[in-house]
Structure 1
Amino acid sequence: MRVLVVDDDFMVAKVHSGYVRGIPDCEVVGVAHTGADAITLAAELRPDLVLLDVYLPDMSGLDVLRRLRTGEPADPFVLLITAADDAATVAAALHGGATHYLVKPFESRALRAQVDRVRQLRGQLAGLDRAGGGELTQNAIDRIFGGRDGPMPKGLTRPTAELVAQVLREHDGDLSAAECAELARLSRVSARRYLEHFVAGGTVTVRLRYGGTGRPERRYRWAGT
């Protein structure tokens, strides 16, 4: 997987590049610090995935997203990585064709989950190309578009996943794993597993809330349909 990292902060770009290099079979093919450079490098390097910040010095990352996602099969996947957590920006990213949206700061495993998801999508699309563009079943289409007919990870069940999803959808704001567990009447460990499953699938966003001491708290918000 060839990745282009775009961030106006040199140190943040370095950190994100390190995360990418820690993922098997991934390489950073370029780093850009402005929107114009991102567009130029994307055209020259043809990356498979672009990690794109929203706040750039010369233009919004959302404008860059629209330039990169033209609807052509050769367009790169784009993962928005930004401090912007307002609903309008998230909606614009979704409508612009972003694969997913990570709010800074985040753990390296959150990025790896999304890179693995892009890798899976690329494999599915490559399989369609090899099949010669024949007719697809609805289940196959649902899997590509993130539908619910794919298999659940070992130890997770569909009814409980639906329960956790309902709790998130009906809550105004974000929840910790402990808060979600209480509302769903599950153990905290179980709720956390389902929440991280949704994060990997792109239907839930996560942010870190820092307190005075200890590890930051992971806060989850429903972002799917």
Structure 2
Amino acid sequence: MHQTDKQSLKAVILEDERMFAEMLSMLLRNISDVNVCEVAHSVAAGISACATHKPDLLLLDLFLPDGSGLRVAQHLLREINPDAQVIVLSGEADNFIAPQWLDPHLGAIVDKASAYNTLLNPIRQMMGKIQPYSLTQNPRDLFTRREMQIFMLIGEGLRNQDIAERMERSVSTILTHRRNITRKMGMSGSRLVRAATQYRVNFT
């Protein structure tokens, strides 16, 4: 078997929609130093793929024919590679709340409908190939619809509790989306607030 350069990012894709999985595979192969080791379509196949390849990155669908893709992520992180990163693929990305054990390893939550436009940035960030965010970049190219709503409210100066009340969501849900915004932009705290405020001034 061909040996991958030790500095390359080994990736496993876990997705039961085969055409979508192939699109993801082609997309990742366009990134230099990313090696797509295997595409799996079930929990059982995903666990086997992770055991074989010991990936640095797992892209997973939440809903698979034989269970939740989170089972594969949990097995990977606890039994195989505790430093791996996970990107969650979902048709309902706005409603996903990461379990506590996954949160430190969560690279991004990507809506399947916009995966082509939003997937490359977090992977390149993991590899240190790009600056996380530039104020010349439109956040709409990075965020899901719900994340964009929260980003705009951050720009209004609202706190998490205020945003939760405005959107009629729990604070924990807002925090999950805010962490995803932070990961995608590579900034938090006052820097994130300034970026959100500047966006409101420059783009709205």
Question: What TM-score comes out, normalization by structure 2 length?
Answer: 0.59
Cα distance, 1:90 vs structure 2: 2.0
* Equivalent-residue separation in structure 2 for 1:200 and 1:32 (angstroms): 26
Cα distance, 1:95 vs structure 2: 4.0
Matched, 1:111 2:119: yes
Deviation digits for residues 172-221 of structure 1 (CA, Å, limit 9, x no counterpart): 179xxxxxxxxxxxxxxxxxxxxxx8572378xxxxxxxxxxxxxxxxxx
Cα distance, 1:61 vs structure 2: 1.2
2:102 to 90, 96, 99: 96
Describe how 1:1-225 pairs up with structure 2 within 5 A.
1-70=9-78, 74-85=82-93, 87=95, 89-92=96-99, 95-97=101-103, 98-120=106-128, 153=134, 163-164=154-155, 166=157, 169=160, 170=163, 171-172=166-167, 200-201=184-185
Cα distance, 1:38 vs structure 2: 0.6
Gaps of 5+ in 1: 122-149, 175-196, 204-225
Residue 201 of structure 1 aligns with an amino acid whose one-letter code is M
Residue number in structure 1 paired with 2:190? none
Provide closer, same or farther for how the CA distance between residues 105 and 151 of structure 1 changes in structure 2, counting only shifts above 3 A: closer
Residue 164 of structure 1 aligns with an amino acid whose one-letter code is G
* Equivalent-residue separation in structure 2 for 1:71 and 1:202 (angstroms): 29
Provide closer, same or farther for how the CA distance between residues 161 and 82 of structure 1 changes in structure 2, counting only shifts above 3 A: closer
Name the % identity: 24
Gaps of 5+ in 2: 1-8, 138-150, 170-180, 188-204
* Equivalent-residue separation in structure 2 for 1:151 and 1:85 (angstroms): 21
Provide closer, same or farther for how the CA distance between residues 152 and 64 of structure 1 changes in structure 2, counting only shifts above 3 A: closer
| CA RMSD across the alignment | 3.9
More helix by share: 2
Cα distance, 1:69 vs structure 2: 1.8
Cα distance, 1:3 vs structure 2: 1.2
* Equivalent-residue separation in structure 1 for 2:116 and 2:183 (angstroms): 13
Cα distance, 1:68 vs structure 2: 1.6
Structure 1, 54-63 or 104-113: larger mean CA deviation: 104-113
